[in-house]
């Protein structure tokens, strides 16, 4: 009872306690009330935000050309704004930018029957392909369905043996040979 009263209104509790309590209870309650005042966080303090230094140690710049031109007295932004990339890397830049991707997307042997069924059923409706969960067991999005249909129509198919040999997108669903065939998904 006394603790509840002390928590609700300390001034009223103190007057009530003084008039009707023994000396030991009074000391115990005053100690609790004093602790609460000590543990209270100050509300008038301001939080100071420290600004980071905008300069970089030139020794930490891995590129030699940029390290030579870097000025310690300027910020990173100012240094990069003042550098001319064409002048620095004139002999290293390619003359012609390639148009196509370096590694074009291909679909695997396990995806071919799924894509074929989706095209037969839905044609070019990629949203319907994405919604069809019976045929689209990989749960591809409409964009992924579009990409895979394009690859199938262009004949860009990669065999499972080629996947294993190249080390690109090794198929964990059904490994071809060796120890991987006996292992489960968690490599146990």
pLDDT for residue 13 is more than 60: no
pLDDT for residue 63 is more than 70: yes
pTM value?
0.43
Q: Greater confidence, 65 or 180?
A: 65
Among the ranges 55-59, 110-114, 177-181, which has the highest mean pLDDT value? 110-114
Q: Round to whole Å and give the CA distance between 74 and 99.
A: 38
The residues, any chain, with a CB within 8 Å of residue 24's CB and separated by 6 or more, are: none
Q: Round to whole Å and give the CA distance between 84 and 107.
A: 42
Range with the lowest mean pLDDT among 3-17, 33-47, 53-67, 78-92?
A: 3-17
pLDDT for residue 113 is more than 70: yes
What average pLDDT does the segment 15-27 reach? 57
Q: What percent of the chain has pLDDT over 90?
A: 26
pLDDT of the residue at 138: 92
Residue 34: left (phi > 0), alpha (psi -120 to 50), or beta? alpha
pLDDT of the residue at 151: 94
pLDDT of the residue at 188: 46
Q: What percent of the chain has pLDDT over 70?
A: 57
pLDDT for residue 155 is more than 80: yes
């Amino acid at each position: 009872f006394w603790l509840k009263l002390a928590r609700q209104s300390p001034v009223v509790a103190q007057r009530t306690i003084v008039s009707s309590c023994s000396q030991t209870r009074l000391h115990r309650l005053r100690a609790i009330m004093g602790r609460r005042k000590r543990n209270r966080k100050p509300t008038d303090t301001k939080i100071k935000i420290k600004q980071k230094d905008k300069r970089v140690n030139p020794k930490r710049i891995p590129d030699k050309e940029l390290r030579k031109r870097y000025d310690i007295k300027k910020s990173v932004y100012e240094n990069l704004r003042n550098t001319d990339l064409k002048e620095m890397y004139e002999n290293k830049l390619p003359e012609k930018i390639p148009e196509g991707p370096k590694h074009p997307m291909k679909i695997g042997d396990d995806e071919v029957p799924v894509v074929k069924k989706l095209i037969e059923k839905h044609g070019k409706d990629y949203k319907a392909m994405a919604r069809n969960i019976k045929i689209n067991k990989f749960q591809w999005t409409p964009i992924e369905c579009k990409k895979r249909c394009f690859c199938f129509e262009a004949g860009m198919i990669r065999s499972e043996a080629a996947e294993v040999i190249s080390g690109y997108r090794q198929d964990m669903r059904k490994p071809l040979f060796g120890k991987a065939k006996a292992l489960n998904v968690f490599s146990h």
